[in-house]
């Protein structure tokens, strides 16, 4: 049975808009998975080291038959194919970042995967694109997207055309 999954996409290296477009095409090729929607693109200030370019972010909705870790593996293959290099430095520049934000109604706490994504509640570059896709969303832990948005200002974001 298919589950609705929301994926956060981000890039700030090597033509970020094209990175996200290529990632969306790759997501459409993941077996057992259908791309159900994509938010508009947003530019956002970087977290972490300040001497890096702004990010381009979006959220994609997928319907998938895959198990959570199988989907995570598929996302990491896409990242690697697009030049992602995993470093010890958190929040540094990257060609592509694909994060599972929500996986159906599941609460997942495994060494490789936490869902809902552990920082999504405080990240405008996740919440606002997610609201473009699912404004009435309630997270599996009972929090509403509307409440999260009310506590997370739009500052540092720019909706791109």
Residues annotated as part of the active site: 84, 94, 97, 99
Spell out the SS3 assignment of 71-115: HHHHHHHHHHHCCCCCCCCCCCCCCCEEEEEEECCCCEEECCEEE
| pLDDT tens digits along 65-88 | 999 999 999 999 999 999 877 665
Q: What domains sit in the chain, N to C, each tagged with a CATH number? A: 3-159 (3.30.70.560)
Distance CA 33, CA 43 (A): 27
What's the pTM value of the predicted model, to 2 decimals?
Answer: 0.95
Per the CB < 8 A criterion, the answer to whether 84 and 96 are in contact is yes
Six token digits for residue 75: 């996302």
Q: State how far Cα 59 lies from the chain centre.
A: 5
pLDDT, tens only, 98-148: 999 999 999 999 999 999 998 899 999 999 999 999 999 999 999 999 999
């Amino acid at each position: 049975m298919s589950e609705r999954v929301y994926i956060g996409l981000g890039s700030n290296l090597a033509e970020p808009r094209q990175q996200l477009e290529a990632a969306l095409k790759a997501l459409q090729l993941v077996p057992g998975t259908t791309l159900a929607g994509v938010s508009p693109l947003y530019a956002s200030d970087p977290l972490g080291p300040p001497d890096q370019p702004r990010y381009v972010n979006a959220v994609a909705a997928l319907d998938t038959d895959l198990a959570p870790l199988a989907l995570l593996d598929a996302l990491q293959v896409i990242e690697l194919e697009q030049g992602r290099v995993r470093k010890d430095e958190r929040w540094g520049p990257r060609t592509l970042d694909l994060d599972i934000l929500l996986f159906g109604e599941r609460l997942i706490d495994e060494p490789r995967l936490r869902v809902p994504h552990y920082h999504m509640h405080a990240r405008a570059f996740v919440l606002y694109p997610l609201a473009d896709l699912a404004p009435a969303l309630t997270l599996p832990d009972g929090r509403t997207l509307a409440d999260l948005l009310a506590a997370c200002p739009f500052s540092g974001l720019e909706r791109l055309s």
